[in-house]
């Protein structure tokens, strides 16, 4: 009972503090804490909630996301006066502030919701400050101070009057020459980081600030890896970075393979976006993007923007090589290459060989490459059979029908792939269903020409279902399963009713058709289940990235 008056006093003080906060006043926070020290965490929660409400209704500073670390700006924060929110990410929020003792404008970064931050977030926050503080380069944001005030971890850094490269590119048309110059400057700064034993690991347009003189400055070392003896900045298996700009070795989660070449890849991705207006890979979800990074090749820059100089396309492709050893040996080498381009001198990079082009094309358009590969093998087998039969008249008609069907199949595959590539935003989803339906129709026609369900080509039905899983859509998997089952069912009926003359030549036991149908359903369930699990993981990654 002795605690009742104290609790009543705390509740009254808390209620009064909330009323003043909602009224837009300046509650005497330190006085309240001096009288009721147990209210510290409660006051912090109220300020965060009030910040969320004010941001959501008024959006006074244009920050993305919801939630604010402090309520009401301008506001005193130790030796700083917070003036304006500049931006926020998954871990921190950055404010424009005035350092009172030196009367200068700085940028102050602090952890979002510091009371709720995990030890890992705090460690990464201080790792970022330590990484940036050891660097002295005009192209890298300088750190002035690292500290903690009122249980809030923060560091003060150089303030750049300007905008991020992503915002700059959205507001101003950047020429190809200017794009090469900007990336060359960034590459020089990144090379300095590498010489200090630091790999940034999250280079992207939003982490590069452009000042009034249009000079770039690298910032945001939240994912930087400092190479030193015994360093364990990231556990193996943890994927760090931004999917559209991360190198394949980052996407695998193998931190031991991440090094300076990973930043060279990211610089190539930035150059790619400046040249084409889009990053090399940008899918519907982060997980889809990561899977593209791991298995595909980006579209050639000149197919996205025909005006891109051939030399810069080659530079991009060398940076974006899947194997780290195939990229520029260092960020300095990339800067020197871009310097040669700017001076009009010959470049060191050479066009890829025919074999490399074919391999990259196969990864860039796997759906078309797989179909053409299968059709090519079937084409060779069919011609071999035709010549083995010495052009027998009874086989010639069948042969030319099959060849005509193969030609139609090849032509439609090319047309669909080109249509998807040119109209990917609005055509991709319906094209998948149309393309899959057409494959099933052409397979149906091929079996109709051949021996129907007695033909070994019926194994193509399971292949259609398995291939549909590559599109990562559960509904599409079951759609192809349904189309395959209906098509196979029609062939079964036709086999017993319309091919009676052929029945003595083949196994007519009906149970084999039941087994085949059960197998198709089992394959569809297995592929659909795997795709569903991938989609669940993708949604989880998407929520975490947005959090």
pLDDT one-digit tens code per residue, 432-448: 788 888 889 999 998 88
Same domain, 310 and 366: no
Q: What is the pLDDT of residues 187-201, one digit of tens each?
A: 999 999 999 888 888
213 located within any domain: yes
Token look-up 């990211």 returns: 266
Distance CA(459)–CA(482), nearest Å, equals: 16
Whether residue 274 contacts residue 312, with contact meaning beta carbons closer than 8 Å, is answered with no
Same domain, 92 and 193: no
289 located within any domain: yes
Residue where a domain stops, chosen among 158, 181, 203:
158
Same domain, 218 and 250: yes
Q: What is the pLDDT of residues 505-541, one digit of tens each?
A: 777 778 888 999 999 999 999 999 988 887 776 665 5
Q: Which of 55, 191, 202, 220 is labelled catalytic?
A: 202
Statement: the pTM of the whole predicted model exceeds 0.75: no
Indicate whether 546 pLDDT > 50: no
Residue 308 is part of a domain; what is its CATH number?
A: 1.10.510.10
Indicate whether 398 pLDDT > 70: yes
Confidence band of 74 (pLDDT split at 50, 70, 90) = confident
Same domain, 451 and 440: yes
Residue 52 is part of a domain; what is its CATH number?
A: 3.30.200.20
Q: How many residues does the chain have?
A: 547
11 located within any domain: no
Residue 202 known to be catalytic: yes
Q: What is the pLDDT of residues 403-436, one digit of tens each?
A: 888 888 888 888 888 777 666 556 667 777 888 8
Half-sphere exposure of 444 (CA within 13 A, CB side): 17
Give residue 139's Cα distance to chain centre.
26
Choose from 125-129, 150-154, 344-348 the range with maximum mean pLDDT. Answer: 344-348
Same domain, 328 and 388: no
Mean pLDDT for all residues in the chain: 80
Indicate whether 345 pLDDT > 70: yes
Mean pLDDT within 468-488: 90
Return the minimum-mean-pLDDT range out of 1-10, 208-217, 433-442: 1-10
pLDDT, residue 390, reads: 65
Distance CA(454)–CA(495), nearest Å, equals: 8
Same domain, 146 and 235: no
Q: What is the pLDDT of residues 228-254, one digit of tens each?
A: 434 444 444 445 568 889 999 888 776
Token pair of 113, please? Answer: 């919701």
Of 140, 178, 325, 189, the C-alpha closest to 247 is 325
Residue that wins the pLDDT comparison between 145 and 22: 145
Indicate whether 54 pLDDT > 50: no
Same domain, 390 and 298: no
Residue that wins the pLDDT comparison between 267 and 405: 267
Residue where a domain stops, chosen among 358, 374, 409:
358
Q: What is the CA radius of gyration of the chain?
A: 31
Measured over the CA atoms of residue 129, residue 131, residue 133 and residue 137, the dihedral's sign is negative
> What are phi and psi for residue 145, nearest 5 degrees?
-155, 145
pLDDT, residue 261, reads: 94
Confidence band of 335 (pLDDT split at 50, 70, 90) = very high
Same domain, 226 and 256: yes
416 located within any domain: yes
Domain residues for 32?
20-158
Same domain, 145 and 223: no
Same domain, 345 and 463: no
2 located within any domain: no
Give residues with Cβ within 8 angstroms of 453, minimum separation 6.
447, 488, 491, 492, 495, 513
9 located within any domain: no
Number of domains in the chain: 3
Give residues with Cβ within 8 angstroms of 494, minimum separation 6.
448, 452
443 located within any domain: yes
Contacts of 229-238 with CB under 8 Å at 24 or more apart are 233/127, 234/258
Indicate whether 285 pLDDT > 50: yes
7 located within any domain: no
Same domain, 381 and 411: yes
Indicate whether 50 pLDDT > 60: no
Q: Name the β-bridge partners of 80.
A: 77, 99
Distance CA(89)–CA(364), nearest Å, equals: 32
Q: What is the largest CA-CA distance in the chain?
A: 108
Residue where a domain stops, chosen among 100, 123, 158:
158
Same domain, 387 and 335: no
Distance CA(267)–CA(261), nearest Å, equals: 10
Start-to-end CA span in the chain (Å): 43
Q: What is the pLDDT of residues 90-108, one digit of tens each?
A: 567 889 999 999 999 999 9
Indicate whether 21 pLDDT > 70: no
């Amino acid at each position: 009972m002795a605690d009742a008056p104290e609790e009543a006093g705390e509740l009254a003080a808390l209620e009064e503090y909330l009323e003043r906060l909602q009224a837009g006043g300046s509650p005497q926070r330190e006085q309240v804490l001096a009288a009721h020290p147990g209210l510290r965490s409660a006051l912090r929660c109220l300020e965060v909630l009030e910040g969320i409400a004010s941001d959501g209704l008024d959006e006074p500073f244009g920050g993305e996301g919801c939630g604010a670390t402090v309520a009401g700006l301008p506001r005193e924060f130790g030796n700083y006066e917070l003036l304006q929110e500049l931006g926020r990410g998954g871990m921190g929020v950055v404010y424009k502030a005035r350092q009172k003792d030196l009367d200068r404008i700085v940028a102050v970064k602090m952890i979002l919701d510091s009371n709720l931050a995990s030890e890992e977030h705090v460690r990464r926050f201080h790792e970022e400050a330590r990484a940036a503080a050891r660097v002295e380069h005009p192209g890298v944001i300088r750190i002035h101070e690292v500290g903690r005030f009122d249980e809030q971890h923060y560091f003060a850094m150089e303030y750049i009057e300007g905008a991020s490269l992503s915002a700059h590119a959205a507001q101003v048309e950047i020429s190809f020459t200017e794009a090469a110059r900007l990336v060359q400057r960034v590459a020089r700064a990144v090379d300095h980081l590498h010489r200090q034993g630091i790999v940034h690991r999250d280079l992207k347009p939003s982490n590069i600030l452009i000042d009034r003189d249009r000079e770039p400055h690298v910032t945001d070392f939240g994912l930087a890896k400092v190479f030193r003896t015994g360093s364990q900045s990231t556990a193996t298996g943890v994927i760090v970075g931004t999917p559209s700009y991360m190198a394949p070795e980052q996407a695998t989660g193998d931190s031991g393979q991440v090094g300076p070449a990973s930043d060279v890849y990211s610089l190539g991705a930035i150059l790619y976006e400046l040249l084409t207006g889009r990053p090399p890979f940008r899918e519907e979800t982060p997980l889809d993007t990561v899977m593209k990074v791991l298995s595909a090749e980006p579209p050639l820059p000149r197919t996205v923007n025909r005006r891109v100089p051939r030399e810069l396309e080659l530079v991009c492709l060398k940076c974006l090589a899947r194997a780290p050893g195939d990229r520029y040996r260092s960020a300095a080498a990339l800067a020197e290459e871009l310097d040669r381009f700017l001076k009009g001198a010959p470049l060191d990079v050479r066009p890829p060989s025919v074999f490399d082009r074919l391999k990259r094309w196969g990864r860039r358009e796997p759906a078309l490459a797989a179909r053409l590969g299968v059709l090519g093998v079937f084409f060779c087998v069919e011609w071999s059979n035709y010549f083995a039969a010495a052009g027998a008249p009874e086989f010639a008609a069948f042969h030319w029908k099959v060849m005509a069907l193969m030609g139609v199949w090849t032509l439609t595959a090319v047309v669909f792939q080109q249509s998807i590539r040119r109209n990917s935003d609005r055509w991709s989803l319906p094209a998948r269903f149309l393309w899959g339906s057409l494959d099933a129709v052409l397979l149906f026609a091929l079996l109709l020409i051949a021996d129907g369900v007695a033909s070994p080509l019926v194994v193509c039905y399971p292949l259609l279902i398995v291939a549909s899983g590559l599109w990562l859509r559960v509904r599409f998997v079951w759609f192809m399963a349904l189309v395959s089952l209906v098509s196979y069912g029609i062939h079964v009926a036709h086999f017993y009713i319309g091919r009676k003359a052929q029945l003595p030549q083949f196994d007519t036991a009906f149970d084999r058709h039941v087994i085949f149908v059960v197998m198709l359903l089992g394959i569809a369930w297995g592929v659909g289940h795997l795709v569903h699990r991938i989609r669940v993981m993708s949604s989880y990654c998407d929520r975490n990235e947005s959090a």
